[in-house]
Amino acid sequence: MYTYQLAKDIMVTKLVTLSPEVDVFKAIDLLLKHRISGAPVIDARRNFLGMFSEKNCMSVLLESAYEQHPTTHLYAFMDVEVPTINEDADLLDIARIFRDTHCRRLPVIRKSKLVGQISRRDLLKAAHSMMASAPDRESTWLYLSSIAERHEAPIV
């Protein structure tokens, strides 16, 4: 009937990642080259450190116009307070995080290591696929409400 979709079923594992020591202008170049709006920042052992996004690029632009920075390393501009999820987060939990935050992507973490990422679009594709494969919409809504009941958290 329905498959209960978890982060590990939806996540993208082939990611453009950045090092905290990379030059911020090289990082911007990589975002533009790969046509992505942000990328996870990891260390040499794949430990998740934060995110670097187009929003951070605006800070680089504005701060470089008004101040002289002692460094152009990415770590000075990346977000370190980033919501993350584990591989067992379900579709509705992920949707709640996207609804309640400004995040466009969520790093998927296993034991502090980056194992994947889910974007808003990835989640929409998974939900749309689930809805499209349903025999009828009514049963799909019942299925979703049963998931929400399990978590004792209604969809608002």
Local confidence band at 155 (pLDDT 50, 70, 90 cut-offs): very low
Q: How far is CA 41 from CA 23, 48, 124, in A?
A: 12, 6, 24
Local confidence band at 1 (pLDDT 50, 70, 90 cut-offs): very low
Query: What's the predicted TM-score (pTM) here?
Result: 0.78
Burial (0-12, 13-18, 19+ Cβ within 10 Å), 128: exposed
Local confidence band at 108 (pLDDT 50, 70, 90 cut-offs): very high
Please state which of the ranges 19-33, 49-63, 141-155 shows the lowest mean pLDDT. 141-155
Residue 132 has what pLDDT?
A: 78
Please state which of the ranges 8-17, 92-101, 124-133 shows the lowest mean pLDDT. 124-133
Single out the residue of 31, 156, 2, 25 nearest to residue 104, CA to CA: 31
